[in-house]
Amino acid sequence: MNGLLVSRKFWITVVDLVVSTATYFIGKYVNPASGADILWLIAAWQPVVLVLINSIAKEDVADKMAAADKAVANIECK
């Protein structure tokens, strides 16, 4: 559970969910005529958030692979 609470990917996803939900309901109850604009805004930002999460995941994998390679190199040197 602690790993989840410190995960950047998790918190970016939570923020995206909150912002998308708030944007949807604000548009729905403030001015129903702007519903299409609100849905467009959510659809426009979703790919950006997904790319950000993907980039962080790739960075995390690269860090873990580098640490594993370093550990293997240390074992071989001994």
DSSP string, 11-73: HHHHHHHHHHHHHHHHHHHH-GGGHHHHHHHHHHHHHHHHHHHHHHHHHHHHHHHHHHHHHHH
pLDDT digits (tens, 9 = 90+) for 5-64: 888 888 888 988 888 888 888 877 877 777 778 778 888 988 898 898 899 889 988 988
User: How does residue 78 score in pLDDT terms, banded at 50, 70 and 90?
Assistant: low
Instruction: Say yes or no to pLDDT of 75 above 80.
Output: no
Whole-number pLDDT of residue 76: 67
- The pTM is what? 0.66
23 residue type, one letter:
T
- Answer yes or no: is pLDDT of 1 > 70: no
